[in-house]
Amino acid sequence: MGNDFLILLKVVQATLWLSVVFVFIKYFMTAKGNNSPLAAVFLLVAGLCFTPVILLLISNESSNLLVLLTGLLGLLIAYKVLSPNGRRQLRELLSPTSSEEPFGGLVGGLAAHAFEGVYLVDPVSLTYIDVNTSGAVALKYKREAMLGMPLKLVHPNNLETVVKNVNKTIESGRRVTFVEEAIRSDGKPIEVEIALKVVVSNNKTCVLAVGRDLTRRKLSQHKIDQLNQLYKMLTLSNRAITRIQDRAKLSKNICDLAIDEGGFVLAWIGDVEGSKVIPACYSGKNDGYVENLNIDLSVERYREGPVVKSINERKVICINNLKLEQGFQSLKEEALKRGFASAVSVPIFVDQKVTSILAVYSNQKDVFNPKLMQLLSNLSEDLSYAFSNLQIETKRKEAEKRLQLLSSVVDQSTDAVAIMNADGFIEYVNPRFSALTGYALEDIKDSSPSILCSNQQEAAKFHKVFLDLSNGRKWKGEFHNRKKSGELYWSMDTISPIKDESGAIVQYVSTSEDYTALKQAQDKIKQLAFYDSLTGLPNRRLLLDRMAQAINQATRNYSYVAVFMLDIDKFKTINDSLGHKSGDELIKHVSQRLTEHVGSQNTVARLGADEFIVVMSDVQDINEVVYFAENLLEQIRVPIEIDGGIVSVTTSMGVSLCPIDGDESDDLLRCADLAMYHAKAEGRNNFQFYTREMNEKALAQLNIERRLKVAIQKNCFELYYQPQIEMSTGLVKGVEALIRWNDEGTFISPETFIPIAEESGLMEQIGEWVIIQAVKDAVKLNELIPNSLRVAINLSASQFRESDKLIQLITDQLKCTGLKPDNIELELTESMLIGDLDAVIETLEAFRALGITLAIDDFGTGYSSMSYLKNLPIDTLKIDRSFINDIGVDASDAAITVAIITLANELNMSVLAEGVETQEQMEFLEQHGCRAYQGYFYSKPLPLDKLLELLN
C-alpha cells in the first residue's frame, strides 16, 4: 500500500512538471521567432525545472516534499521571468479559446503580431475564419468585415487556382507556395505570394495562409530599372555632347536616347523664340501631338503647364499624373488621348537664359521620383553646357564670315576702318587705317583702340565712349590721337555697334578721317572769337557762356556760384611809369597766377585792361568763398620780376553770389563790380561781398574760425557734465558730456562755434579731444561709484561719417584706460542717420559689438520715421527740450511727448527727457512712463570737480 501511494505521488509529480514544461514550450512556440532571447530564457528555466524531476522520479530515496517544493519554486521563477506582456500571453495560452475566435490562440499568439498577412481559411466553405490586422490592412478591409467572407471576393479571377492549391495542401500535408493576384476592397489588384499549410484546431482541418504583397517589391525594382535606364541615357548623352558638333543633330540624338535608352514614349526639344515655344525635333510616339503644339508664354491657359512653368521657374518641372492635373486642359486632353500618363520639362540655358526645353513623356504615372528629377537636373546642366558651347562656336564662324565679307568691301575705302570684337579689341584694319596711323594689322591686332590715345584724358574719353557703345548706341566725335611715330593728329570718328539677330552686340566698326587741318583752323577761329589775344584767357563772350553753365549746374545741385571781379590797384600808375610793354607783361603774370590758382573746374577771364573775372562753380559753403578770396589776394601780392626789376601789386576784389545776388550773368557781374569798388573805397588790397550784411557774417565766421584754431592748439576747451536721473529711484544713472569753449575768459556757446567747426573741418580734432577727455573723466566717475555711471558723448556728423577712425579711437581709449564699454553711450542726431540705411545700420552694429549703448539726441526735431527707426539698433530716445518746455501750456507738445514715450516703450527702447526744469514737468513725464530725465530741475551742467562733489 505504501509503495502504491508512493508511485501515485510520483505520477502526480511528473504530471505537474510536464504541465509546467508544456507551458514554457507552448510560450516558446508563440514567441516572436525562435531566436528570441526571451524564448531562450524560457527553455533554460524549463530545463532547470525538469532536471530535478527526472532525478527524483528515478530515485527511491528522494523526498516527495522536496520534489513538490522544487516544482512550485520552478513554476514561480518561470512566471516571474516573464515580462508583463509575456505573463499576459501565458495567461491567454493557459485560458480556453473563446467561441467567437475559434482559432484566437493560434492567430492571436503568432499571427496577430506578424508583419505579413495571416489568414485562417475553411477549405470546405472557402471562407475566411480569421485574419490578422496586417492581412486585413493589405486588402484594405477592416478585420471584422473579413470574418466569414468568401474567398471569391478576394480572388474573383483566379479562385479555381487558389482552391486547387488549397486541396493540394490538404492532400499532401505539405506547405504549398504560389503567386497569384488578389483584389483589394478598392478594386486595385495586387500580386501576392501565398504560402499554405494545414492546421488542425478543435478537431477541424483548416488551412493557414500567409500572404506577402509583391507589388511594392516589384515597384522598387521597377524604379531601380528606371534609374539604370536614365543613368545609361545620361552616359550616352554626354558621349553625344562631346561627339556631335551640330545643334540640330545633337537635339535629335538626345530625343532618340530618351526613347531608346530612357524608356520614355515621347521626347521633343523646342526653342524659346519670344513668347513662343517652337518644337525643333522629336522622337517616339507622336500621332501629331508635337506638330499641333502652340505654346505661348503670354497666354494664361499655358502658364500652369510643365513647359511654361519650367521656363518661368528655371528648373525641372514634372507632372506625375496628367489625369489629375487641373491646368492647360487642351494640351492635357491631347496627351491623355495618346496614352501619356506623366510628363517632365527640362530647361536648357544659354547665357543664363532658358533658350530651349526638353519635354519627355511616359505612359506610366508617378514615374518622376526625386532621384529621377535629380538626374534630369544633371541632364539640364549638361545640355546647357553643350548648347552654350555650340552657340559660341556658331557665332565665331558667323563672325569670321562677316569679317571676310567686310574686309573685301572696306579694303578699298578712303576712310580708315577698324573692326573690333564684342570686347572692343581690334580684329581688322584696312590699308587706309595703316597709312593714317602707321600701325599695320599685325602691330595692333587684339589691342584696344585706346592704344592710339594721345593722353590719359583721351583714354578716359574712349572708355566712356565704349560704355555708350556697349549699350547699343552709335557714337560720332573727335579724338586727339598719336601715330606710331609719335606724331599727334586729330580724327573724326564714327563708331557703330554690329548686332546679331538676337540683338546682341558681336562687333564694332569704326570709320575715321584725318581731321587735323580742319581742327587747327577751327581752333584758330575759336581762339580769336572767344579768347583774349594778350593772355589767352576767355574773353567776355566765352565768360558769359561759362557763367550760364555754372548757374545751371548750381540750380540743379542747389549750390552757389561765386563771381569775383578783380582790379589791379593803381595799375594806371604802374603802366605809365614802366611803359605799356611792361604793363602787358604784368597783366600776363597776373593772369598766369590766377589760372594756376583757381584750377581747371573754375573760370578765369579778362574783361579788358586790368580787370579780371573769376567764376567759382558748385560752391557748397560760403566759407569756401572767403578762403578762395583770401588766397587770391595773397597770390597777387607776391612780387613779380619784370625787365629785371621787382614789382609788387595788390588788387581790390568784389564778390557776388548766385542765387543770393541774382541768377543772371549780367546781374552777378554788376553786383561784383559794385562790391569791387566798395573794396577800393575800404582801402584797396581787400575783398568785399556785395552786401554788407553778408560781408559782416562771413568776416565774423572767419574770425571765429581763426580763434578756434588757436583754441585747439592751446586746449581752451572744457567738459561739463549734466546728471541724468532715474525716475523710479531718483538716483543719478549717468551724465551727458557737454563741451565749453573758454575764449580768454569768455565762454562761447557750442551753438555758435560747433557749426563753424563742422564747416571748416575742425570738428574732427575737437571731437577727438572730447572722446579722449570724456573717457578719462568716466574712469574717475566710476572709481567713485563703481560700474554704475554711464557717460553720454555727442557725436558730430563728420565723426560719424569717418566711422572706422571713430571706432578705432574709442577702442584704443577703452583699452588704454580699462573703462568698460557699457560705461559709454554715444548720442547721434536724427539727421545723421538719414541716407544709406544699410551703411548706417552696419556702423551702429559695429558700436554695439563693442558693448557701447546708442541714443538718438533731440528726438522728434529731425527726420523721425518709423520705417527707419524700427530697424536701427538704438537703445535710448532723448526727447528734445523744445517739447518739454511747453508741456503744461501746449497740448500739442504734451501729445508729442507722450507719443515719443509710447513709441520708445513699444520698440523696447529707453526714453529720457531733456530740459526738465519744473516739478510739474517731471511728474507729467513719470505719469506717462518716461524712465529718466535731465535738466535744471535736478542740476545744471557742472565741471567734473563740482559733479564729484554733487555725487558725494
Residue 603: in which H helix or E strand, if any? strand 603-608
Q: What is the pLDDT of residue 17?
A: 56
Residue 896: in which H helix or E strand, if any? helix 891-906
Give me the helices (H) in 730-796, please.
Answer: 750-760, 763-784
Paired residues of 722 in beta bridges: 736
Rounded CA-CA distance 658/554 in Å is 8
In a shared domain, residues 162 and 191:
yes
Q: What is the pLDDT of residue 93?
A: 38
Domain end residue (candidates: 360, 390, 420): 390
Domain end residue (candidates: 187, 213, 239): 213
Cα 477 to the chain's mean position, in Å?
A: 42
In a shared domain, residues 370 and 447:
no
C-alpha grid cell, residue 510: 569704326
Q: What is the pLDDT of residue 94?
A: 37
851-886 pLDDT, tens per residue? 999 999 888 776 555 666 778 899 999 999 988 988
Three-class SS of 529-580? HHECCCCCCECHHHHHHHHHHHHHHHHHHCCEEEEEEEEECCHHHHHHHHCH
Q: What is the pLDDT of residue 643?
A: 82
In a shared domain, residues 733 and 760:
yes
Q: What is the pLDDT of residue 9?
A: 53
Three-class SS of 816-859? HHCCCHHHEEEEEEHHHHCCCHHHHHHHHHHHHHHCCEEEEEEE
C-alpha grid cell, residue 807: 571706432
Q: What is the pLDDT of residue 699?
A: 67
Report which of 329, 324, 295 is spatially closest to residue 312, judged by C-alpha positions: 295
Q: What is the CATH number of the domain that holds 574?
A: 3.30.70.270
In a shared domain, residues 128 and 195:
yes
Q: For the chain, which ranges sit under pLDDT 50?
A: 1, 11, 26, 28-41, 58, 61-62, 80-108, 110
Q: What is the pLDDT of residue 327?
A: 65
**Does residue 604 contact residue 538 with C-beta atoms inside 8 Å?**
yes
DSSP tag of 110: I
Q: What is the pLDDT of residue 38?
A: 47
Q: Count of domains in the chain?
A: 6
Range of the domain at 435: 410-520
Alpha-carbon distance values, 272 to 294, 307, 315, 316 (Å): 12, 10, 15, 16
**Does residue 131 contact residue 143 with C-beta atoms inside 8 Å?**
yes
In a shared domain, residues 539 and 678:
yes
Rounded CA-CA distance 682/649 in Å is 17
Q: What is the pLDDT of residue 40?
A: 46
Alpha-carbon distance values, 716 to 744, 745, 748 (Å): 8, 10, 11
Query: Is there a domain that residue 702 lies in?
Result: no
C-alpha grid cell, residue 818: 580699462
Q: How many CB atoms lie within 10 A of CB 131?
A: 27
pTM score of the predicted model: 0.37
**Does residue 373 contact residue 343 with C-beta atoms inside 8 Å?**
no
Rounded CA-CA distance 458/577 in Å is 47
Query: Is there a domain that residue 404 lies in?
Result: no
Q: What is the CATH number of the domain that holds 376?
A: 3.30.450.40
Cα 927 to the chain's mean position, in Å?
A: 45
In a shared domain, residues 193 and 252:
no
Query: Is there a domain that residue 853 lies in?
Result: yes
Cα 646 to the chain's mean position, in Å?
A: 69
718 CB-contact burial (10 Å; exposed 0-12 / middle 13-18 / buried 19+): middle
In a shared domain, residues 668 and 763:
no
Rounded CA-CA distance 796/802 in Å is 10
Q: What is the pLDDT of residue 88?
A: 46
**Does residue 679 contact residue 652 with C-beta atoms inside 8 Å?**
yes
In a shared domain, residues 473 and 543:
no
Domain end residue (candidates: 520, 553, 584): 520
In a shared domain, residues 933 and 794:
yes
In a shared domain, residues 259 and 137:
no
- List of residues 6+ apart from 606 with CB closer than 8 A: 532, 534, 535, 537, 538, 539, 587, 591, 612, 613
In a shared domain, residues 824 and 946:
yes
